[in-house]
Structure 1
């Protein structure tokens, strides 16, 4: 028996990757059938993404389902492209948060009140963005270099 998601969404696109001691399976179903029912500006497609992580022996570790809305029309992004865009989004998010957590040791920050935490997060994001804008992708190395030579930091921002 088919569920309602199978009726609304056409056949799925599936990726399977093995690495880091696990197997990750991602499935996406994309449809325009719900566009008239979604009160979201410029909706062109909706999607259902299912992610499953297995141990190498096949034991299910985690399973999650997410729904998405996009303004990208089907002729510009099929299911494969939308899944790739979704993965790219999380790659960017994870890359930023990893740098903030590990390189800046943000989780151990003592700044916890008022606007301090937001201000420091903004300054950290600014530093990361400036480094990457100038092709300095090793943020830890860039921090050490600028820490030894603060005048370079001023030059980086044009002062």
Structure 2
């Protein structure tokens, strides 16, 4: 990825507890001069979401020469990111904290936009896969089955999307399932 000139922005999750814990401790104790922060507020769909994005490029403590079982290795870490989200709805409030690592050094505002852009793509793709292919009801759970079927679904949805038609993706898929001639049009496109 880095060899091809691309950068990464990865979520630090519970499956990397050491990495996530170190980043969490850093932000808990970091002096203000080592971080920069931006706050965004979005209103819509009956709720208000406030996101506070904090970044730091002072990560030399993170990329030491570690040699122990379960160590994490991410080449060229340049920035760590903390996102605090507060969601206010009619009768309830929720909060969430997420952490990220990146190979690119950007401002807090640029990271906020990149993270929002990623979630917009992720949510729209998941929604389409669930509505169109009922992916959440899929029963393949072991071996290579789930990954293989995900590839097949993504391939199929891209073919259906690329077909020049005014119907929704769900209607195109349903029509292709009932009409072999229409399916052939989609495949040839």
Do the two structures share a fold, i.e. TM-score over 0.5? yes
Match of 1:29? 54
Q: Matched residues in 2 for 1:65 and 1:6: separation?
A: 19
Give the alignment of 1:10-159 within 5 angstroms.
Answer: 10-38=35-63, 40-56=74-90, 59=92, 61-74=93-106, 78-111=107-140, 115-134=144-163, 138-158=168-188
SS of 1:37 mapped into structure 2: coil
TM-score computed with the length of structure 2 as normaliser: 0.67
Residue 32 of structure 1, CA deviation: 0.7
Residue 9 of structure 1, CA deviation: 4.3
Residue 28 of structure 1, CA deviation: 0.6
Residues 35 and 46 in structure 1, CA contact (< 8 A), matched pair in contact too: no
TM-score computed with the length of structure 1 as normaliser: 0.77
**Aligned CA distance change for structure 1 residues 134 and 72 (closer, same or farther; 3 Å):** farther
Residue 16 of structure 1, CA deviation: 0.5
**Aligned CA distance change for structure 1 residues 155 and 36 (closer, same or farther; 3 Å):** farther
Q: Matched residues in 2 for 1:62 and 1:95: separation?
A: 22
List alignment gaps of at least 5 residues for structure 1.
Answer: none
List alignment gaps of at least 5 residues for structure 2.
Answer: 1-26, 64-72
Q: Matched residues in 1 for 2:148 and 2:31: separation?
A: 46
Residues 8 and 31 in structure 1, CA contact (< 8 A), matched pair in contact too: no
Query: What is the RMSD of the two structures over their aligned residues, measured on CA atoms?
Result: 2.8
Q: Matched residues in 2 for 1:36 and 1:151: separation?
A: 61
Q: Matched residues in 2 for 1:35 and 1:151: separation?
A: 60
